[in-house]
Amino acid sequence: MPLLPRIANLFFRTRVEREIEAEIQSHIDLRIDDNLTAGMSEEEARRDALLRFGNRTSTKERVASVDFALGLQSIWSDLRYAARQLRHSPGFTVTAVLTLAVAICANAVVFSVLDALVLRPLNLPNSQRLYTVEQRELLNSYPDFRDLRDRNRAFDAVAAYVIAPVGLNTGGNPTEAWVIEASGNYFDVLGVKPYLGRFFQNSDEHGPDSAPYTVLSYSYWKNHFQGDSGIIGRTVEINRHAFTILGVAPPQFRGIELFFWPDMWTPLVDQAQIEGSSSLDERYYRDLFLIGRLKPHVTLAQANADLNSVAIYLKKTYPRDDDGMLFRLTKPGLGGDFLGPPVRAFMTGLMLLAGLILLAACANLGGLFSARAADRSREIALRVALGSTRRRVLRQLLTEAVVISIAGGVAGIAGSVALLRAISAWQPIPIYPIHLPVNPDGLTYAFAVLLALLSGLLFGLAPLRQVFATAPWQVVKTAACTRQGRHWFSTREVLLVIQIAACAVLTTASLVAVRGLERSLHATFGFQPQNALVVTTDLNMAGYSADRAPAMQRRMIDAVAALPGVSSTGLIDNLPFTGTNEVPVFGSNASDFRSSRALTETYRYNASPGYFQAAGTTLLAGRSFTWDDDKNAVPVAVVNREFARKVFGSVQAAIGRHFRTGAKTRLLIVGVVEDGKYSSLTEAPWAVFFRPLLQDPSFATSQIVRSEGDPQQVSAAVQRTIRGLDDALPFTVSPWQQELSFALFAARMATISLGVLGLLGALLALTGIFGLASYSVSKRLREFGIRIALGAKRSELLEAALGRAFKLLAAGSVAGLILGLLATKVLAYVVYEATPRDPLVLAGAVLAMLLLGLIATWLPAQRALSIDPGKLLREE
C-alpha cells in the first residue's frame, strides 16, 4: 500500500474503524435474515449468526491493522508514548531541549553569517569572474587605474570606485548621505540593470566635472522620495552642485561591499565637485577600489601575470610614484584584503567553535539519556522479559531522542531567526551606513534541521550498550544494578573534561576581555575625550571654495570659543581613530623621494590653533600653532614624541630642525606633543606630525569643544551658533566619547562574542556535570540506600556520589585556566591591555567554575541525601 493513504488513514482512524464495524454488522444481519428465512426463531437466528462469525473484536482488530499498516501505526504510538514519558520528567525534558536549542541556535546563527559573508557569492551576474585588483597598499590611484584599464589584456573591463560622504539638498534641510563615486563603466562591469531610468556610462564622461548625474539606491529612493517614479530627470544639490537624477538601482543591488550600503552613485570624474578637491591627477594618491571582470577562459595565474606586466611598465615609467608596484587579485565583497582574510578566518573559527559546542551538547545529552536509561533499567529488563525485542526497546528510546531533537531544533531555529533579524537591523556604528547583511534562508533552516536530527540520533544511541546488556533475569535478581567494570576514564568522561576545560578557557578569556575593555576606557589616548564635544562639518557640502573655507573655519572657532562654559576649542581634519593619512618623511637634504628611501612612515594631521589645548594633548616642548602660521609664513609642523625620538633622538633635539615630505615641502619643527593612539588602541607608538590648517587646508574637519558646563546645554548652544553662521551647512554634534565607539568596536565585539560563547560553554559544562552526577547517583541508589541504613554519614555519601564529578571538574578547570591564560596572549592583539596576570581575573574564573560545579551537582546531591532506605529496599 502506498505511503500516503496509510498516513491519511492515521488521521481518519475513527472513520475507518466505523466502516469496518458496519461491514461486520451487515454480515451478521444478512446471516440472521437467512436464518429467519430457514425458519429459526429470532433469538436462535441471532445466536447462530454471532456464533458463526466467531471473535468479532479480534476480526475487527485484524482488519484495522491491515488498513492502518502496522509500521506507521506503531511509530505513532511510539511518539505518543515518548511524549508521555517526557511529560513525566519535565526537568530532564527542559534541560535536554534547552541544551540542544542553544547549540542549534548558535550553529544556525554562525552558519547564516558565514553563508552571507563567505560562502555565498556576490549577488551579481556571473560574479565568480569578478575580482578586486589590489596593489601592495590595497588601494589604487586614478592615473594608475587608467593605465591598468587600457593596458591589461586579462579583463573585459576594470572599474574604479571610492566611498565618500556628501551633503545632499533635495529642497529642504541639507542631510548627510553616502555616495559611491564610480568610473563610467562601473555598472557595466558589474552587469547591473537599472530599476528605473538609466545608469551613467563611459560616454557621459568628458573630463573633470562633466557628468553631473546621480543614481539613487532603491532604499534611498523609497525612503527619501517615497518611491516616486517621476523623480527621473529631477535635479538635487550634492555639496551645493546641481546633479540630475538619472535612475534608480535595483532593490538587491547595494554596491560591492557586503557591509557598506551606499545611498547613491555619482561619476568619479566629478570628484572635484563632490569632495571639493580632486586627486584624479595624482599618481601617488591611492584611494580607489578597483574591480574587474575576468575574460572567459583566462585563468587567475594568467591574469596575475598580465597585471604584473602592467606593473613593470608603471615602475619603469613612473619610478617616483610607482616604485614598488605589484598587483594581485582578491575576492570582492569585503573590501578586498582589507577585511577579507580576518573576517573569513574569524567566521571559520567561530563556526568551528559552534560545531564544538554542538558536539559537547550531544555528549551531554548522551550522558543525560544514559542516566535516564539507567533509571529505567528495571522497566527495560521487564519489557525484555515480557518478550519485547531489544530493537523495539531501543526504537522507543530513539523516538524519545528524536522528539527532543525536533523540539530543540524548532526552539533553536526560532531563537536564531530572532537573533538574525536583530543582527540584520543592527547598525554597529551609527555614523556609517554599515550593515551585516544576514537573511536566514532555506539553506539555514535545512542546516539546522539536519543538525538537530543528526544530533538526536547521536545522543539517542548513547544508551545502546546499556539496552543490549540488559538481561531479562535482572528483573528477577534483586541486585538490579551493579557497578560496571572500572576503567580509568570513559570516553564520556574525557569528553566532559575537555568540555569543562573549554568552558574555563572561554570564561577566563571573556573575563580578561572585559577587564581589558574596562581599562582601555580609562587608558591614555594622548587626548582626553571626557568633557569634550565633537562638531563634524564638511564645508565642501555647503559649497565653500578653497579660498573661503579657512575664513569660515576661523569664524566657527571664534564663535564657539565665545560661548559661555567653553574653555577651549580647535579643529582637526581627522579625529584619531577615524582615519589616517600615511605619509613618508625624508631628511631635510633628501633628493630621492621614493618611499623606500623614507626616514620613517608617519601619520599626518592638519590642526588649527587651539586644537592641542582643546583635545587635552600635552605640549612637551616648543610652541603650538598660532593664527600667524598661515600660507605666507614659514611652513611649520608639530611632531609627537615618537617622531622626535625616532628621527632626531630626543624631544629637545627636534625643536628647530627640518624635515621634508616632498621636493617642495620643507617643514620646520616648532613643537613636540605627547604620544597618543591614532588608528587602534592596541597599536605600537607611531610617529606623527601635525600641520597648521591654514598652511594645509581641509574642508572636512572635526571641531573639539571642551567645556566644564552641562554637555546638553553646551551642545544646544553650539548647534545654534553653527546654524547661525551658515544654515545650509550639514553638521553633527556628539560627545567625543561616543565618537570613540568605532575605535572600541573590535574590542567590544570580541568581548561580546567571547562572553556569549563563555556563557554557552558554562551552560554546557553545567548540563554535562549534571548528567554525569545524576547518572552516578541513579546507578548507585541501592548502594546508597544500604549505606544509609547501615548508618553512613552524609559527607561520606556525598563523597561517593559526587567525588568523581568533582574530580573531573577540577581536572578540566585547571587545564582550562592554564589554556585560558595562554590564550589571552592572542587576545592582547584585539583588546587593549589584556593581561592574564590579573588576580581579579584568576579569582573570577576559579569562582565561576566552582559555582558551576555547585549548581550542577546540587540536584543529584539532594537526591542522594534524600534516599529513604526503607522505601528503596522495599521497592527493589
**How many angstroms separate the CA atoms of 742 and 744, rounded?**
5
Q: Using an 8 Å Cβ cutoff, are 524 and 640 in contact?
A: no
E strand or H helix at 726: none
User: Residues 9-28 vs other proteins: string with x where CB under 8 A?
Assistant: ----------xx-xxx-xx-
Q: Using an 8 Å Cβ cutoff, are 648 and 657 in contact?
A: yes
Least distance from C-beta 29 to other proteins, angstroms?
A: 6
Least distance from C-beta 67 to other proteins, angstroms?
A: 6
E strand or H helix at 23: helix 13-37
**How many angstroms separate the CA atoms of 38 and 102, rounded?**
75
Of 31-39, 363-371, 650-658, 758-766: span binding other proteins (CB under 8 A): 31-39
Q: Using an 8 Å Cβ cutoff, are 766 and 857 in contact?
A: no
* 20 vs 406, beta carbon nearer other proteins: 20
Q: Which residues of 623-637 are buried (b: 16+ CB within 10 A; e: fewer)?
A: ebbeeebeeeeebbb
Q: Which three cell numbers stand for residue 315?
A: 615602475
E strands, 233-305, where?
A: 235-238, 241-248, 264-267, 289-294
User: Residues 40-69 vs other proteins: string with x where CB under 8 A?
Assistant: ------------xxxx--xx--xx-xxx--
* 5 vs 349, beta carbon nearer other proteins: 5
* 29 vs 710, beta carbon nearer other proteins: 29
How many CB atoms are closer than 10 A to CB 312? 12
Least distance from C-beta 66 to other proteins, angstroms?
A: 5
Least distance from C-beta 28 to other proteins, angstroms?
A: 8
31 is an interface residue for other proteins by CB under 8 A: yes
Q: Which three cell numbers stand for residue 674?
A: 605627547
**How many angstroms separate the CA atoms of 480 and 196, rounded?**
79
Least distance from C-beta 58 to other proteins, angstroms?
A: 7
From the list 343, 348, 354, the residue with the least C-alpha distance to 416 is: 354
In sequence order, the 6+-apart residues with CB closer than 8 A to the CB of 16 are: 9, 64, 67, 68
The length of the chain in residues reads: 876
* 62 vs 421, beta carbon nearer other proteins: 62
* 65 vs 173, beta carbon nearer other proteins: 65
73 is an interface residue for other proteins by CB under 8 A: no
Q: Which of 8, 18, 29, 524 binds other proteins (CB under 8 A)?
A: 29
Least distance from C-beta 809 to other proteins, angstroms?
A: 59
* 29 vs 558, beta carbon nearer other proteins: 29
**How many angstroms separate the CA atoms of 502 and 505, rounded?**
5
* 63 vs 434, beta carbon nearer other proteins: 63
DSSP secondary structure, 333-396, as one string: SSTTTTTHHHHHHHHHHHHHHHHHHHHHHHHHHHHHHHHHHHHTHHHHHHHHHTT--HHHHHHH
* 1 vs 352, beta carbon nearer other proteins: 1
Least distance from C-beta 22 to other proteins, angstroms?
A: 7
* 62 vs 136, beta carbon nearer other proteins: 62
* 20 vs 725, beta carbon nearer other proteins: 20
Q: Using an 8 Å Cβ cutoff, are 318 and 283 in contact?
A: yes
Q: Which residues of 69-98 are buried (b: 16+ CB within 10 A; e: fewer)?
A: beeebeeeebeeebeebbeeeeebbebbbb
Q: Which three cell numbers stand for residue 578?
A: 577615524
Of 29-37, 308-316, 418-426, 630-638: span binding other proteins (CB under 8 A): 29-37
* 28 vs 138, beta carbon nearer other proteins: 28
How many CB atoms are closer than 10 A to CB 345? 11
CA atoms within 13 A on the CB side of 349: 10
33 is an interface residue for other proteins by CB under 8 A: yes
Q: Which residues of 213-227 are buried (b: 16+ CB within 10 A; e: fewer)?
A: bbbbbbebbeebbee
Q: What is the DSSP letter of 118?
A: I
Least distance from C-beta 32 to other proteins, angstroms?
A: 10
Least distance from C-beta 62 to other proteins, angstroms?
A: 5
How many CB atoms are closer than 10 A to CB 58? 9
Give me Rg for the CA atoms of the chain.
Answer: 38
Burial label for 728, CB within 10 Å (0-12, 13-18, 19+), is middle
Least distance from C-beta 53 to other proteins, angstroms?
A: 5
Least distance from C-beta 387 to other proteins, angstroms?
A: 23
* 17 vs 323, beta carbon nearer other proteins: 17
Least distance from C-beta 16 to other proteins, angstroms?
A: 10
* 64 vs 163, beta carbon nearer other proteins: 64
What part of residues 688-747 is at the interface with other proteins (CB under 8 A)?
A: none
E strands, 29-154, where?
A: 130-134
What part of residues 236-275 is at the interface with other proteins (CB under 8 A)?
A: none
Least distance from C-beta 60 to other proteins, angstroms?
A: 8
* 19 vs 726, beta carbon nearer other proteins: 19
Least distance from C-beta 6 to other proteins, angstroms?
A: 9
Give 292-330 as a 3 state SS string: EEECCCCCHHHHHHHHHHHHHHHHHHCCCCCCCCCCEEE
From the list 210, 209, 186, 208, the residue with the least C-alpha distance to 199 is: 186
Least distance from C-beta 54 to other proteins, angstroms?
A: 5
**How many angstroms separate the CA atoms of 8 and 262, rounded?**
53
Least distance from C-beta 27 to other proteins, angstroms?
A: 5
Least distance from C-beta 44 to other proteins, angstroms?
A: 18
* 19 vs 833, beta carbon nearer other proteins: 19
* 66 vs 352, beta carbon nearer other proteins: 66
Least distance from C-beta 50 to other proteins, angstroms?
A: 11
From the list 699, 703, 698, 693, the residue with the least C-alpha distance to 733 is: 703
* 26 vs 235, beta carbon nearer other proteins: 26
Q: How many positions of this chain bind other proteins (CB under 8 A)?
A: 24
* 69 vs 326, beta carbon nearer other proteins: 69
Residues at the interface with other proteins (CB under 8 A)? 1, 19-20, 22-24, 26-27, 29-31, 33-34, 52-55, 58-59, 62-63, 65-67
